[in-house]
Structure 1
Amino acid sequence: MSKKVLLIYPEIPLTYWCFKYSLEFIGKKAVFPPLGLLTVAAMLPEDWKVDLIDLNISTLDPEILPHYDMVFISAMIVQKKSFDMITSLCKDYNVPVVAGGPYPTSLWHSIPNVNHFVLNEAEVTLPKFLHDLHYGIPHHCYTSNEKPSLDKTPVPRFDIIDLTPYSSVPLQFSRGCPFNCEFCDIISLFGRVPRTKSPQQFLAELDAVYATGFRESIFIVDDNFIGNKTRAKELLKAIIEWQIDHSYPFSFQTEASINLAHDAELMQLMYKAGFDMVFLGIETPVIASLESAGKTQNTKEDLLENVKIIQQHGMEVSGGFIVGFDDDPENVFDLQVEFIQSSGIPIAMVGILDALPQTRLYDRLLSEGRLLYESNGNNTHKLAPNFIPKMPVQKLIDGYIQLLKTIYSPRNYFERCLTFISRIPQERMVYRQFTFKEFKALVLSLIKQGFSYYFMYYFKFLLNTLRLRPKLFSEAIALAIKGYHLFKITEILLDEYNKSLKEEEHTDTFAPSFASTFTTSTDTAGMVHTDNP
C-alpha cells in the first residue's frame, strides 16, 4: 500500500566542524546534505511519496506532521538534542517514527518516542522492516551484524533535495577500515574488511549529482578511502576519465590514513582526479599514546614528513588530534602545538578523548569503573571528558583551552596556511572557481577580516600568497574565510571557559562543576551504569 513519508535530518549544533560562520560568506547554510536519508529514500517502495526536511537549512512546521503516514529520521550522537525534539513532536501528533543511523544504532535502548528502530546497515535491515510493515506486523527493532556487499546500494535520491544551500555533496565509495584504533567506532559499525562499490556505481552517483546542476566539491565520506588501495586506484582512474569527459566540474576531498604518503601512484591519481584535500587521523605525536590507543600504524611513520609529502602532491591536509590519552605526558599540549605548527595543517581539529559506545575504549573504561556518562558526540566543543582521565581533569581542560587558543590565534593560523600554500604545486587539476559568489565572498572577507583586530596577519598572508603562489590566491581567500569561523568558535569557547572560571573562583571543585556545566548544556544521554542492556 502506498504511503506518504517525511524524512527529517536533525540539526547539528554549533561546533568547529559545522563552519557556520564561513558558509555565510558564500551564501551557503550547511556543509553536506544528509546522504544516509537520501540513500534510504532510494530504498523505499517506488509508489511511496517521499519528502525531506533538513533542519540545518530549514525549519519544521509541526502542523505538517499529521499529513504523513510516518517519519523517518537518521542521526549522529551529536544531533541527539534535535533528534529528541523531533521524535517528541511526532509523538504529540501521533505520527509513527522510524529511526536509524549511528546514534540509534549505538544507543537505541535508551531512546524514547521511536516506534521502529532500523539499525546497522540499511541494505540488510530496511527490507525486513518494509516486508513486515507491508503485512501489518512491524517489529520495534531490526538489527543485524551482517556486513553486506555494496553492489546493490542504490543511487541516492538527489532529486528530492535542492543542493544549492550546501557547499559540498557527500558520496560513499567504501565502508570499513582495516585498522583497530581503540577509540574508533567504525570497525564495530562497518567492520575491518573494507567493502567497496564498483567504479560504475560511483560514476552513476556522480552523474546524478551532475544532473542537478551542482558544480562544486564532492566529499567521499569513507572513513578510510584507501582501506583497499587496489580498488581505490581503479575508482580514481575511472574518475579521471569522467572528469575529462565533463571538463572537471568537481573537486574532491576525502579521509584517509597517513600511509597514503607511501604510495606515489595513489597520490598522483588523486591529484589527477581533482582531489585537493584529505583528512588524516593523526591524533598525537606521542608514541606511547598511539601505541596504547591501538593506532600503531602511526607509530611506524615520520608523521611530519608524510604530511609534507601529501601536501607536495597537491592536497591540503586537515588533521584530527586528541588529548586525554592515559599515556599523555604533562607537556602533551606543547607537543601538539609544536607538531601542528610545523606540519602546515591549517585546519587542525583537536578534541578531548571521547569514549563512544561500541568501542574498545568504552568497554575498557566501563570495566575499570572510569566511565561517567554517555558521549554527546562532540569532542571539540565539550570541555570535559566523559570518563575519569589519568591526568587531573582541571589540568586537561586548562591545557586543552590553551592549545586551542594557541593554534587558532590568527598569527599561528595564517602561518600554517602559508606553510601549506608554499608546499603545494601551483598547478592544479581543478582551480577554485571565481564567480560572482566568490567575488562577493572576497569583498565580505576584506571588510570583515581586513578591518579586524588581526588585519596585519590577514593581509600579510594574502600578499605572501600573491608573491609565492599567485594562481592559488582564491585558495588563500578560502582558507582565510575558514579561519574566520575557527576564530569565532575559539572565542566562544574561551568566553564560556572564562565565565566558568569566574563562577568557580578557582576552587577545588572547579573541574567536576565545569564538566557538569558543559555536559548539561550539551544534553548528554545520561549516566552510564554497568547493568545497561
Structure 2
Amino acid sequence: MKALLIYPLIPDTFWNFRHVLKFIRKKAAHVPLGLLTVAAMMPKDWEIKLVDMNAQHLSDATIQWADMVFIGAMIIQKESVQQIISRCRKMERVVVGGGPLFTSFPEVFEDVDHLILNEAEITLPPFLKDLQSGNLNRIYQNEERPNITMTPLPRWDLIDINTYASMAVQYSRGCPYNCEFCDIVYLNGREPRVKSNEQMLKEFDSLYNIGWRGSLFIVDDNFIGNRLQVKTLLRKLIPWQAARNFPFTLYTQATVNLALDEELMQLMTAAGFDS
C-alpha cells in the first residue's frame, strides 16, 4: 500500500505566520503532529509519504503515486481540503478524511470515500482491519476516549524538521472546562487524559536525538487541565532539560487559572517554559 498523508494549507490566520517566517528562513511554524502520529499507527510494510502544504508543494505526480490519500485537517483548512479532494477525484484516487474538520462536519464531505472520525487510536484500527479483509465501511466513528499512554511516537523521519520554526509534542487531551468559544470538549471530552511521564521523556528524547534544538510547542489545548499530574511531569522534565543544557524552549496553551497556582508557575519556568 502506498499511502499519501496530506496536511492542507492554513490560510492567513492566527495559525499561520507565513509572512514573517521568511525572516528566520523557515517555511512553516508548526509541524503536522496529528498526521505524524497517525503515520506511526499504520502498517510497517506500507510506503508512506507526508506532504505538508505549508512547507512544500503538492504535485500531481505525488498524488498519482498513492493508492490512498489521507487528509488530516482543522476546520480553518476547509478551503484547501476541498481543493485537494477535487484534485484527487480527477486522478481517481481513494480519499480518506480524518481530524477535527471531518469529525465536526462529516455531512459536508459526501465526496470523500472513507471518514475516520474521532480519535485515531480507536477508529483507525478497525479501518485497517477492514481494509485488509476487503470489506471497508465508509464511516468509522467511535466516541470512546482512548488511553493515550498507548499512542506511538510520531514519525519524525517523514518531514524535514529544519523547515519548521518549532517542533511539537502532545501531553494531554480534553479539558475540564466548557468555554463557549472552544470545541475541545466536543472533540476530546471533559476529563483530561495524560501520557505517562516516561512516555513524554521518550518523546523529548526522540526530538533531541534527531538533532532538534529550539522552540517546542506542547500542543495541549489546556496543558494544566490535570494540575496534579502535570506537576509530576514537570518535576521529571526539569532535570532532563538541565542535564542537556536546556535544548528546548517550551511554550503551550493554558487556562488563566494558572496564575492562581504559584508552585505550578515556578515548575513551568524551571522546566523551560517562556510562554
Q: What is the CA–CA distance in structure 1 between the aligned matches of 2:25 and 2:180, rounded to whole Å?
A: 39
Amino acid corresponding to residue 62 of structure 2 in structure 1:
I
Q: What is the CA–CA distance in structure 2 between the aligned matches of 1:138 and 1:218, rounded to whole Å?
A: 38
In the other structure, the counterpart of 2:198 is 200
Cα drift, residue 113 of structure 1 = 2.7
In the other structure, the counterpart of 1:239 is 237
In the other structure, the counterpart of 2:246 is 248
Q: State TM-score, norm by structure 1.
A: 0.51
Tell whether 2:121 aligns with 1:117: no
Q: What is the CA–CA distance in structure 1 between the aligned matches of 2:100 and 2:138, rounded to whole Å?
A: 17
Cα drift, residue 160 of structure 1 = 1.3
Cα drift, residue 21 of structure 1 = 2.1
Q: What is the CA–CA distance in structure 1 between the aligned matches of 2:93 and 2:57, rounded to whole Å?
A: 18
Cα drift, residue 63 of structure 1 = 2.3
In the other structure, the counterpart of 1:309 is none
Tell whether 2:95 aligns with 1:100: no
Tell whether 2:20 aligns with 1:22: yes
Cα drift, residue 183 of structure 1 = 2.7
Q: State TM-score, norm by structure 2.
A: 0.98
SS in 2 for 1:53: strand
In the other structure, the counterpart of 1:150 is 148
SS in 2 for 1:151: helix
Tell whether 2:91 aligns with 1:85: no
Cα drift, residue 158 of structure 1 = 0.6
**Stretches of 4+ aligned residues off by more than 3 angstroms:** none
Aligned with 2:34 (options 33, 36, 50): 36
Cα drift, residue 66 of structure 1 = 2.3
Cα drift, residue 64 of structure 1 = 2.6
In the other structure, the counterpart of 1:164 is 162
Cα drift, residue 252 of structure 1 = 0.3
Instruction: State percent identity of aligned pairs.
Output: 52
Superimposed CA distance per residue, residues 474-508 of structure 1 (whole angstroms, 9 cap, x where no aligned partner):
xxxxxxxxxxxxxxxxxxxxxxxxxxxxxxxxxxx
Aligned with 1:5 (options 3, 6, 9): 3
Superimposed CA distance per residue, residues 119-155 of structure 1 (whole angstroms, 9 cap, x where no aligned partner):
0000000001000001001110001110111111000
Cα drift, residue 203 of structure 1 = 1.1
Superimposed CA distance per residue, residues 8-62 of structure 1 (whole angstroms, 9 cap, x where no aligned partner):
1100011243122221110011111100000000000111111111100111111
Q: What is the CA–CA distance in structure 1 between the aligned matches of 2:53 and 2:183, rounded to whole Å?
A: 26
SS in 2 for 1:253: strand
Q: What is the CA–CA distance in structure 2 between the aligned matches of 1:263 and 1:172, rounded to whole Å?
A: 22
Q: What is the CA–CA distance in structure 2 between the aligned matches of 1:247 and 1:178, rounded to whole Å?
A: 34
Q: What is the CA–CA distance in structure 1 between the aligned matches of 2:14 and 2:125, rounded to whole Å?
A: 37
| Structure richer in helix, relative to its length | 1
Aligned with 1:186 (options 184, 187, 193): 184
Rg larger for: 1
Superimposed CA distance per residue, residues 275-297 of structure 1 (whole angstroms, 9 cap, x where no aligned partner):
000xxxxxxxxxxxxxxxxxxxx
Considering Cα pairs closer than 8 Å and 6+ residues apart, tell me whether 1 or 2 has the greater RCO.
Answer: 2
Which 5+ residue runs of structure 1 have no aligned equivalent?
278-533
Q: What is the CA–CA distance in structure 2 between the aligned matches of 1:182 and 1:144, rounded to whole Å?
A: 24
Which 5+ residue runs of structure 2 have no aligned equivalent?
none
SS in 2 for 1:188: helix
Aligned pairs (5 A) from 1:312-331? none
Q: How many residues matched?
A: 275
Q: What is the CA–CA distance in structure 2 between the aligned matches of 1:16 and 1:220, rounded to whole Å?
A: 17
Cα drift, residue 200 of structure 1 = 0.9
Superimposed CA distance per residue, residues 49-96 of structure 1 (whole angstroms, 9 cap, x where no aligned partner):
111111001111112322211011100111111111111111111110
Q: What is the CA–CA distance in structure 2 between the aligned matches of 1:158 and 1:76, rounded to whole Å?
A: 20
What RMSD over aligned residues (CA atoms) do the two structures have, in Å? Answer: 1.0
In the other structure, the counterpart of 1:211 is 209
Aligned pairs (5 A) from 1:439-458? none
Superimposed CA distance per residue, residues 456-480 of structure 1 (whole angstroms, 9 cap, x where no aligned partner):
xxxxxxxxxxxxxxxxxxxxxxxxx
Cα drift, residue 112 of structure 1 = 3.7
In the other structure, the counterpart of 1:227 is 225
Aligned pairs (5 A) from 1:360-439? none
